[in-house]
Structure 1
Amino acid sequence: MIEFNHVNKTYHNGTNALKNINLKIEQGEFVAVIGLSGAGKSTLIRCINRMHDITSGHLYVNHVDVSKLKGKQIRRFRRRIGMIFQSFNLVTRMSVIKNVLVSFVPDLPMWRKLTGVFTKEHKLKALEALDKVGILDKAYVRVDQLSGGQQQRVALARTLAQNPDILLADEPIASLDPVTSKLVMDDFKTINQTMKISVIMNIHHVEIALEYADRIIGVREGEIVFDGAADQVTKETLDNIYGSKSNETPFLAEAN
């Protein structure tokens, strides 16, 4: 479970990115966070795994007060939270399986870190993760020979190999074409449903958020202005989240 209690985040330049956030996310939910660029969506997600520190309030993940963690505690905590980025963050000159094996490096003894020698168990887990996202046949292909969608699925497999409880995704399909975006979103949905992993996703594509997520959180100027089921979202809801910009969304263009 993730719980925000009166959480605020102010950056050094004085920007109030999050304002009095009160929010609970239960294990196994698929949540899409939507809103304009700069609304605070990425900040909200990145506070969960301590990529950003909160300024005040309390943030709990599985009853652990995240802001009180230090040093090795933070690293151990992050092992249970997977993070997917728009930019993939892969080593493109390495093979697919080696990129997935990177997820095990923090837990390796020093001699294995230095030599790059992984156990048979690690290799099997990496292959299983690749199988779950449908690219097992690409295990020994160099990453730079893959399409953007395939690279995002490698990043997803690398995260799954950690066996996380929570999967955070920051604009994971922003650089993908519509067909590839659907394939990647199908992967997220399957993982959420079959593995009961919580998915919290920051996404600009409103129509895709409504199709895949069970719950929508709308953020505007650092505040939560909507929190409810996807099927409860209306044109008025989106007007409240996006303001005058709402007509730019494909969902509203069709509705109008």
Structure 2
Amino acid sequence: MIEFNDVEKIYPGNVKALQHIHLTIDKGEFVAVIGLSGAGKSTLIRCINRMHDITSGQLFVDDVEVSHLRGKEIRKFRQKIGMIFQSYNLVTRTTALKNVLVSFVPQLSFWRKMLGLFSKEHKIKALTALDQVGIVDKAYVRVDQLSGGQQQRVALARTLAQYPDILLADEPIASLDPVTSAQVMDDFQRINRDMNISVIMNIHHVEMALDYADRIIGVRDGEIVYDGKSEDVTQEVLDHIYKGNVEELRETYEGEQAHVQ
């Protein structure tokens, strides 16, 4: 369970990224965080794994107060929280399999790290993770020879290999065409339902958020202005979240997707 109690995040220059955040997310939920650029969506999810420190309030993950963690405690804590980025963060000159195996490096002894040696068990787990996202046939293909969607699936497999309890995704489909975006979102939905992994996703594409997430959190100027079921989201709700600019945003997104294609 994730719990925000009156959380604030203030950046230098007194920029309030988050204010008065009260939020509880239960295990196994698929949550989409939506709102304008700069509203605080990325900050919200990045506070969960301590990529950003909160300024005030309390943030608990499975009854652990995140801001109290130090050093090795933070690294151990993050092992149960996977993070997917828009930019993939892969080593493109090596294979998909080796990119997934990177997730096991913290578990290796010093000499295995130095030699880059992984156990048979690690390799089986990595191949299983690639199979879970449908690209085990690409295991020995260099990442720079894969499509954008396949690279995002490698990044997702790398995270799944850790057996996380929580999966955070920061604009995971922003650089993908509509067909590939749907395929990647299918992966997230299947992982959420079959593996009972909580998914919290920051996403610009409103229709995708409504189609795939069970719960929508609308963020505006650093505050939560909507929190409810996706099927309860109306045009009025969207206009409130997006300050009446939702149609303009749709047109912009559709233009970007046409360019990707």
TM-score class, shorter-chain normalisation, is over 0.9
- Work out whether residues 7 and 58 of structure 2, in 8 Å CA contact, stay in contact via their aligned partners in 1: yes
Correspondences of 1:1-256 after superposition (within 5 Å): 1-250=1-250
User: Post-superposition shift, 1:37?
Assistant: 0.1
How far did 1:175 drift? 0.2
Q: Which residue of the partner structure matches residue 258 of structure 2? A: none
Q: C-alpha displacement at 1:244, in angstroms?
A: 2.7
Tell me, yes or no, if the aligned pair for 1:206 and 1:249 is still in contact at 8 Å. Answer: no
Contact 2:31 2:201 in 1 (8 A): yes
**1-side partners of 2:248 and 2:158: how far apart?**
35
Instruction: Measure, in 2, the Cα distance between the counterparts of 1:77 and 1:160.
Output: 16
Instruction: State the 1:120 CA deviation.
Output: 0.2
How far did 1:249 drift? Answer: 4.1
Please identify, of 86-95 and 238-247, the stretch whose mean Cα deviation from structure 2 is larger: 238-247
Q: Which runs of 5+ in 2 are unaligned?
A: 252-261
Q: Residues 86 and 173 of structure 1 are in contact (CA less than 8 Å); yes or no, is this contact kept in structure 2?
A: yes
CA offsets 1:220-241 (integer angstroms, 9 cap, x no match): 0000000000000001100110
SS in structure 2 of the partner of residue 37 of structure 1? coil
Distance 2:235 2:245 in 1: 12
The 2-side partners of 1:99 and 1:206 are apart by: 31
C-alpha deviations, 1:30-62, integer Å up to 9, x for none?
000000000000000000000000000000000
AA aligned to 2:126 is A
Q: How big is the alpha-carbon RMSD for the aligned residues of Structure 1 and Structure 2?
A: 0.8
Amino acid in the other structure paired with 1:68:
H
TM-score of the superposed pair, with normalisation by structure 1: 0.97
Q: Which amino acid aligns with 2:92?
A: T
Contact 2:171–2:202 (8 Å) recurs in 1: yes
The gaps in structure 1 that reach 5 residues or longer are 252-256
Deviation of 1:12 (Å) = 1.4
TM-score (norm 2): 0.95
4+ runs deviating over 4 angstroms: none
| Superposed displacement of residue 107, structure 1 | 1.4
Aligned partners of 1:244 and 1:134: how far apart in 2?
39
What is the match of residue 254 of structure 1? none
Q: For residue 209 of structure 1, what is the amino acid of its counterpart?
A: A
Query: Could you list the per-position Cα deviations for residues 40-85 of structure 1 after superposition, in whole angstroms to 9, with x for gaps in the alignment?
Result: 0000000000000000000000000000000000000000000000
- Cα deviation, 1:77-104, whole Å, max 9, x if unaligned, reads 0000000000000000010000000000
Which residue identity lines up with residue 248 of structure 1 in the other structure? Answer: E
Identity %: 73
